[in-house]
Amino acid sequence: MIEFRAVTKRFEDGTIAVDELDLTVEAGTITVFVGPSGCGKTTSLRMVNRMIDPTSGTILVDGKDVLTVDPPTLRRGIGYVIQQAGLFPHRTVLDNVATVPLLSGWDRRKARTRAAELLEIVGLDPAFGKRYPAQLSGGQQQRVGVARALAADPPVLLMDEPFSAVDPVVREGLQDELLRLQAELDKTIVFVTHDIDEALKLGERVAVFQTGGHLAQYAKPAELLSAPANDFVASFVGRDRGYRTLTFLHADVPVHPVDTAKLGQRVAVTDWTLVVDDQDRPKGWLSGVDGEIEVSDQDLIAGGSLYDGSTLRGALDAALSSPSALGVTVDDNGAVVGVVRADDVIKALAKARAAGEVPK
């Protein structure tokens, strides 16, 4: 558990980066600090491992005032993932990951074995261990950064915009990976971002900071969307917040049957037909064909996003992004089970609202 008690940071030039911050990060959860540039997220984070010391107030990690611990010792017990990874360019990937265990006095062999394990845990081929950071892509470097922070198995992890330097697709993969890791490792994680979508996806609780170092609201994601504390939070959470609220609703949407065809099969297409592979996974759509044809790759119209039966947002997006306006619904193996319609999603939303399931 991390507690901020009336923490203020004023820099020498008079800038107040953090103003009277009171906040408790529960053990074993991901808490996200989000807010516009310069609102004091990094400063708040770095006061936890004493990369910055507060001007006034107290920070407790597991009940212990951090100011009573010698900084290097404190930092070895807290994983820290820096923006742009901050890997050591002169060390191999494996040695980068082994850094903290070696500093903590492990012998070299044990530290390297542990480092190799961690590369696997963060989803990197152990062969990457021999490379140098300059020989990795941005996304791979970020993974190494996470592995390095986890190496000595610290209970607390500080992550400062760890995924900001990669493209949206890679970022989404890294986010999913973090959630998977957290389900296994159960760390106390403070995650900084200025991307509200990332905050809502990762945070069990989200702290929205306002310029000037004020904490504007500290709440669960669904509550942030449905009951923003003030105009600042409302505008920061954004114009799409009605749509985003759907992320937190798990209502039943009727799944309709759909005509399917396999590649190479001879079919006469009248309406929208979904083409699937041998395992019934969707390949694309077929439409407006004259007479009977043999289905080939060239005839396919690319499909939209897939709905896995989880949230209303996924269902609506699948329907809206599909060329046929039919959202393809798949099971855990990725096999097609049917389609959903946008109007059904809206109906499901109305039903949920009537049942009082939509937070006001």
Partner 1 sequence: MGGWLFDPAHWSGPTGIPVRLLEHLGYTLMTLLIAAVIAIPLGAFVGHTGKGGFVVVGLSNALRALPTTAVLILVVLWAGLGDFPVYVALVLLAIPPIMAGTYAGIRAVDPVTVDAARGVGMRESGVLLKVEIPNALPLIYGGFRGAALQVVATATIAAYTGAGGLGRLVFDGLALQEFGQMLAGAVLVALLAVLVDLGFAGLQRLTVSPGLRPVGTGGKT
Ligand X SMILES: Nc1ncnc2c1ncn2[C@@H]1O[C@H](COP(=O)(O)OP(=O)(O)OP(=O)(O)O)[C@@H](O)[C@H]1O
Least Å from the CB of residue 75 to ligand X: 18
The residue (of 75 and 241) whose beta carbon lies closer to partner 1 is 75
Distances (CA, A) of 351 to 129, 252, 264, 317, 358: 53, 10, 43, 19, 10
Helix (H, G, I), strand (E, B) or coil at 81: strand
Q: How many CB atoms lie within 10 A of CB 190?
A: 25
Of 35, 40, 133, 203, the one binding partner 1 (CB under 8 A) is: 133
Binding residues for Mg ion (CB under 5 A): 42
In the region spanning residues 81 to 100, those forming contacts with partner 1, defined by CB under 8 A, are 82-84, 86-92, 99-100
- Give the helix ranges, DSSP H, for 151-262: 168-185, 196-202, 221-226, 231-237, 241-245
Q: Does 114 bind partner 1 (CB under 8 A)?
A: no
Using CB under 6 A as the binding rule, whether residue 148 contacts ligand X is answered as no
Q: Is 275 in the site for ligand X (CB under 6 A)?
A: no
Is-contact 97 80, C-beta < 8 A? no
Q: Which is nearer to ligand X, 194 or 283 (CB)?
A: 194
> Least distance in Å: CB of 60 to ligand X?
20
6: left (phi over 0), alpha (psi -120 to 50) or beta: left
Q: Does 11 bind ligand X (CB under 6 A)?
A: yes
Nearer to Mg ion, 193 or 322 (CB): 193
Residue closer to partner 1 by CB (options 35, 101) is: 101
> Around 232, how many Cα atoms within 13 Å sit in the side-chain half-sphere?
14
Nearer to partner 1, 85 or 336 (CB): 85
Choices 105-113, 127-135, 163-171, 245-253 (CB under 8 A): range interacting with partner 1: 127-135
As a whole number of angstroms, the distance between CA 258 and CA 40 comes to 51
Amino acid (1-letter code) at residue 245: T
Q: Which residues contact 225 (CB under 8 A, 6 or more apart)?
A: 200, 237, 241, 244, 245, 248, 359
Residue 238 interacting partner from ligand X, Mg ion, partner 1, none (CB closer than 5 to 8 Å by kind): none
- Residues near partner 1 (CB under 8 A) are 49, 51, 71-76, 80, 82-84, 86-92, 99-100, 103-104, 130-135, 148
